[in-house]
């Protein structure tokens, strides 16, 4: 493993060490109340990092595009009140300074993995970056995208396998557990998995999460919603919030089996 470097997010939270971290929350930040209810549940389950999109990369321009700056404000405010860390996506180069101000980890989405000016911009910051795999990108292209960030000085990079497009249509994407195991052997960066976008089906998220941890993932990014049927985005792959304790317990079983702890 060449120059392997865990990424420290806060004094007590390091991704890529012995502990496997769950980053959980809604696909999109929808309201203050929704976010607060999720934060309360995360804290009760011992989770440290809340996810939530404010600027959303939607395939259709007619779908909900996120609350934008208001979403960032809600996320930060709720997180601070509950002592949580935050991950959210920067969709555009011009949003990077603003997003960086509100978040603890900047997410680069799958559709933007090869948006080089965006990679250069986050590469200029001293802020952890979660780089999602392009859904039609090879491992080599993904690592070169990471290199674009690192070449500007920022080496606080976490890779996220979020499923790739294959001939299979029964699931939204195909979780590439090979890539997780491979990158853990040959990349300098921690690797996490997003079983929500990788499967697109709520019923598959837990088994895919367990598989990712067994393959060596350092963390998970998972969509939870208080009422998935009413979600403004990705309801079909969001787990009901009341399943969180069971989810944590089940994933922890696999983490323990591979010699790691899970929070
Ligand atoms: C997300 O995590 O909210 C998201 C849009 O994922 P992806 O970029 O992997 O599609
Ligand atoms: Mn989503």
Closest ligand 1 atom to Cα of 27: 3
- Indicate which CATH number applies to the domain containing 244: 3.20.20.70
* Structural contact between residues 178 and 214, judged by C-beta atoms closer than 8 angstroms: no
What's the count of helices (H) and strands (E) in the chain, helices before strands? 9, 12
Asked whether residue 233 is domain-assigned, the answer is yes
| Domain assignment present for 19 | yes
Q: Is 198 inside any structural domain?
A: yes
Torsion of CA 153, 103, 196, 179, to 10 degrees: 10
Residue 2 has pLDDT above 70, yes or no: no
pLDDT in tens, 82-136: 999 999 999 999 999 999 999 999 999 999 999 999 999 999 999 999 999 999 9
Asked whether residue 162 is domain-assigned, the answer is: yes
For residue 246, is it within any domain? yes
**Full-model pTM:** 0.98
Strands 13-15 and 19-25: unpaired
- Residue 210 Cβ < 6 Å to ligand 1: no
> Count of domains in the chain?
1
DSSP class of residue 174 equals: B
In a domain, 41, yes or no: yes
**Domain residues for 42?**
7-262
Q: What's the mean pLDDT in 242-263? A: 98
> Would you state the pLDDT for residue 191?
98
d(CA 80, CA 100): 15
Q: What is the pLDDT of residues 69-86, one digit of tens each?
A: 999 999 999 999 999 999
pLDDT at 1 over 60: no
Question: 115 CB less than 6 Å from ligand 1?
Answer: no
Tell me, yes or no, whether 237 lies in a domain: yes
The per-residue pLDDT for 218 is 98
pLDDT, residue 247, reads: 98
Over the stretch 155-174, which tens digit does the pLDDT of each residue have?
A: 999 999 999 999 999 999 99
In sequence order, what are the beta bridge partners of 108? 131
- How remote is the CA of residue 152 from the centroid of ligand 2, in Å? 29
Nearest-5° Cα angle at 232, 55 to 53: 25
Within 8 A by CB and 6+ apart from 207, the residues are none
Asked whether residue 66 is domain-assigned, the answer is yes
Burial degree of 190 (CB within 10 A; 0-12, 13-18, 19+): buried
């Amino acid at each position: 493993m060449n120059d392997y470097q865990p990424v420290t997010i806060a004094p007590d939270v390091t991704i890529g060490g012995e502990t496997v971290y769950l980053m959980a929350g809604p696909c999109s930040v929808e309201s203050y109340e929704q976010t607060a209810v999720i934060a309360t549940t995360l804290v009760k389950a011992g989770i440290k990092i809340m996810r939530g999109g404010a600027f959303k990369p939607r395939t259709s321009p007619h779908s909900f595009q996120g609350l934008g700056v208001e979403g960032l404000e809600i996320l930060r405010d709720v997180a601070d009140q509950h002592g949580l860390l935050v991950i959210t996506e920067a969709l555009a180069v011009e949003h990077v300074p603003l997003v960086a101000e509100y978040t603890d980890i900047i997410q680069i989405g799958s559709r933007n993995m090869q948006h080089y000016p965006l990679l250069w911009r986050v590469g200029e910051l001293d802020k952890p970056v979660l780089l999602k795999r392009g859904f039609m990108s090879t491992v080599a292209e993904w690592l070169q995208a990471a290199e674009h960030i690192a070449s500007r000085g920022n080496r606080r990079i976490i890779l996220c396998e979020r499923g790739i497009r294959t001939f299979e249509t029964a699931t939204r994407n195909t979780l590439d557990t090979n890539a997780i195991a491979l990158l853990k052997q040959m990349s300098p960066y921690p690797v996490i998995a997003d079983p929500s976008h990788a499967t697109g089906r709520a019923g598959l998220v837990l088994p895919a999460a367990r598989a990712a941890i067994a393959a060596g993932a350092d963390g998970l990014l998972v969509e939870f919603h208080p009422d998935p049927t009413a979600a403004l985005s990705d309801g079909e792959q969001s787990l009901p919030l009341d399943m969180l304790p069971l989810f944590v317990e089940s994933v922890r079983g696999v983490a323990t089996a591979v010699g790691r702890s899970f929070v």
